Amino acid sequence: MELEEAIKILKQHNKWRRYNGVIDSIPKMIDPRELGIAIDTVVNEFEEITDGYADITEDVFLDACISTGRCVEMFDEFLFTDEITFQIEDILHRYNDKTARTKIKKLIK
Q: What is the pLDDT of residues 87-105, one digit of tens each?
A: 999 999 999 999 999 999 8
Same domain? 66 vs 43: no
Range of the domain at 33: 3-50
Structural domain count of the chain = 2
Q: Given this model, what pLDDT does residue 102 score?
A: 92
User: Where a domain ends, among 15, 32, 50?
Assistant: 50
Residues 6+ apart with CB under 8 A from 2: 41
Q: Does the reported pTM lie above 0.85?
A: no
pLDDT for 9-44, tens place per residue? 999 999 888 887 776 677 888 999 999 999 999 998
Proportion of the chain in helix, strand, coil states, percent, rounded to 5? 75, 0, 25
Torsion of CA 57, 59, 62, 66, to 10 degrees: -140
- 34 with 74, same domain? no
Cα separation, 54 vs 41, in Å, equals 22
pLDDT of residue 46: 84
Same domain, 27 and 12: yes
pLDDT at 9: 95
Across 70-97, average pLDDT: 86
Q: Are 11 and 46 in a shared domain? A: yes
Q: What is the pLDDT, as a whole number, of residue 39? A: 94
